[in-house]
Amino acid sequence: MSDNSHDQHEAHTGPVKTPKQMLLLSLASFIIPVFIIIGLVFYVTSANKEAPGSSDAERSVAERIQKIGAVEVRDANRPLKSGEEVYKAQCAACHATGAAGAPKFADAGAWGARIKQGLATLTTSALKGKGAMGAQGGGDFNDTEISRAVAYMANNAGAKFDEPKAPAAEEKK
């Protein structure tokens, strides 16, 4: 009978027989889940990465050669617009209604002090901007056309400015 009881005692023991096995099993139960979590994190974050074909070198080359500006070629030989045409296209939006403190078209009282400054000063103010009016130079019209629009508005308010002429073409050397 004693042999029989010993067999039953052996049947109820677990797979861990020594303290060394217990230590290894404990370490494995902590280390294996950590590696599984790290693997899952890499798997999830790899979905946000670029395709294997593109590299940082290709991206940096694309950034270096990207378009940074544009060149607009205008016909320098086109006839200049009259002051009235430029006024209707560019200036009337504010000067017809007096928006943002702009002197109204043909309002002699509003234009009087400005006219006394002269056409050159008025043209400079229009080209560089003054107060709420933004700079008009470098836009759709050249400086002579802007000057013609200034003369047109001032003349309709009582000035006697001559319409600016086109600048003489420079002689080739």
Q: Where are the domains of the chain?
A: 13-46, 83-156
Look at 77 and 4; give whichever has higher pLDDT: 77
For the chain, the farthest-separated pair of C-alpha atoms sits apart, in whole angstroms, at 137
User: Is the CA virtual torsion 152, 157, 162, 164 positive or negative?
Assistant: negative
Token pair 């009337």 is at which residue? 92
* CATH class given for the domain over 83-156: mainly alpha
Percentage of residues in the chain having pLDDT higher than 70:
82
- Residues 29-88 have pLDDT tens digits of 999 999 999 999 988 888 766 555 556 778 888 888 887 777 767 666 778 888 888 888
**Chain mean pLDDT for the chain:** 79
